[in-house]
């Protein structure tokens, strides 16, 4: 597609949500431009689990296959680059990429994902994605029955620990200071066999990303094979909020059916707008947004054609 042409749909974000939306729209013969800044949420992970037919594959493999399968759809173009601004006009949207190029579209799908905040524990980054994770649904099964720590405090740590009892019963909450648990929460944890250690953490032990233990200020080390922390994410980019979308109390963009937002013509799909953060769910939401965008475009196209007075037959 030429830069001066107006796209039917611009998709910002080329993860499972954005690429899935592009596939559906390409099949609808819509002119689509996908921008991607190349920062997949699960880039640090070793495997993509729970995605039907891709269970256990390398995380970036899904994107590679998806991009390759978009190639035959000539109306879809993929652009590597970050969108830094977006504006809403009477007849659609305009986006500006970091390199200064601009593009216009009738509908806009934001599939920009979220970023994870790691607990403030010295050295945690070296283990993140290999033996420290946030999502039991993604990484619990491979580490079932292992000695696992929950790194966190308060209700979030309690919930994460109780959820994890499904995968292992060898669980210790390491709260790195006061655990912030009520007597009731402590009883519930004890009833499920979850221990609580409130010693400040001075470091994690292990090599090649494999956790072996947690070192405490008191001098002791707790042997652990893996650790989960309660999820704490923020939006990867603020385009949706700048365009007038509302964030829910849980920090995701408030969307209704078909990933529609309160801004006409704007859809937000994937992790950015939902709480079940699985790649297959993001892909499904991308498809839903695409379906809804195409439906709106078709209605507008039909209404436009109805306005054109039919030529009289001689």
Ligand X SMILES: Cc1cc2nc3c(=O)[nH]c(=O)nc-3n(C[C@H](O)[C@H](O)[C@H](O)COP(=O)(O)OP(=O)(O)OC[C@H]3O[C@@H](n4cnc5c(N)ncnc54)[C@H](O)[C@@H]3O)c2cc1C
- Does 233 interact with ligand X (rule: CB under 6 A)? no
Site string (55-94) toward ligand X, x via CB under 6 A: ---------------------------xx-----------
- Does 49 interact with ligand X (rule: CB under 6 A)? yes
How far apart, in whole angstroms, are the C-alpha atoms of residue 108 and residue 260? 10
Nearer to ligand X, 174 or 239 (CB): 239
Structure tokens at 149: 């720590």
For 3: left if phi > 0, alpha if psi spans -120 to 50, otherwise beta; the answer is: alpha
- Does 220 interact with ligand X (rule: CB under 6 A)? no
Q: What is the DSSP letter of 6?
A: P
- Does 18 interact with ligand X (rule: CB under 6 A)? yes
How far apart, in whole angstroms, are the C-alpha atoms of residue 236 and residue 115? 5
We find the least distance from the C-beta atom of residue 169 to ligand X, in angstroms, to be 23
Site string (109-128) toward ligand X, x via CB under 6 A: --xxx--x------------
Structure tokens at 282: 């993001």
Give the closest residue to 153 by CA, choosing from 82, 256, 230, 267. 230
- The single residue among 8, 23, 45, 240 that binds ligand X, judged by CB under 6 A, is 45
How far apart, in whole angstroms, are the C-alpha atoms of residue 181 and residue 186? 6
Q: What is the DSSP letter of 81?
A: S
Nearer to ligand X, 23 or 237 (CB): 237
Nearer to ligand X, 53 or 218 (CB): 53
For 169: left if phi > 0, alpha if psi spans -120 to 50, otherwise beta; the answer is: alpha
Q: Which residues inside 155-174 make contact with ligand X, applying CB under 6 A?
A: none
The binding site for ligand X (CB under 6 A) comprises: 12-18, 35-42, 44-45, 48-51, 82-83, 111-113, 116, 129, 133, 135, 138, 236-237, 239, 270-271, 277-280, 282
């Amino acid at each position: 597609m030429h830069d001066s042409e107006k796209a039917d749909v611009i998709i910002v974000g080329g993860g499972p949500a954005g690429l899935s939306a592009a596939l559906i729209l390409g099949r609808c013969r819509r002119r689509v431009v996908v921008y991607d800044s190349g920062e997949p949420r699960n880039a640090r992970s070793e495997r993509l689990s729970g995605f039907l037919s891709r269970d256990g594959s390398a995380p970036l493999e899904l994107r590679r296959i998806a991009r390759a399968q978009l190639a035959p759809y000539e109306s879809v173009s993929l652009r590597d680059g970050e969108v830094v601004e977006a504006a809403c006009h009477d007849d659609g949207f305009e986006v500006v990429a970091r390199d200064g190029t601009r593009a216009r579209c009738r509908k806009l799908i934001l599939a920009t994902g979220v970023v994870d905040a790691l607990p403030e524990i010295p050295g945690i980054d070296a283990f993140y994605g290999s033996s420290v994770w946030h999502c039991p649904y993604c990484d619990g099964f491979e580490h079932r029955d292992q000695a696992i720590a929950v790194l966190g405090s308060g209700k979030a740590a309690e919930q994460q620990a109780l959820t994890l009892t499904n995968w292992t019963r060898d669980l210790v909450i390491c709260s790195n200071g006061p655990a912030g648990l009520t007597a009731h929460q402590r009883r519930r944890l004890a009833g499920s066999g979850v221990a609580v250690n409130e010693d400040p953490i001075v470091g994690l032990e292990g090599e090649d990303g494999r956790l072996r233990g947690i070192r405490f200020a008191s001098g002791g080390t707790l042997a652990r094979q893996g650790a989960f922390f309660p999820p704490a994410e923020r939006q990867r980019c603020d385009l949706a909020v700048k365009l007038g979308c509302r964030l829910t109390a849980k920090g995701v963009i408030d969307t209704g059916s078909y990933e529609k937002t309160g801004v006409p013509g704007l859809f937000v799909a994937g992790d950015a707008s939902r709480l079940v953060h699985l790649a297959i769910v993001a892909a499904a939401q991308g498809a839903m947004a695409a379906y809804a965008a195409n439906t709106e475009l078709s209605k507008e196209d039909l209404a436009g054609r109805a306005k054109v007075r039919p030529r009289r037959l001689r």
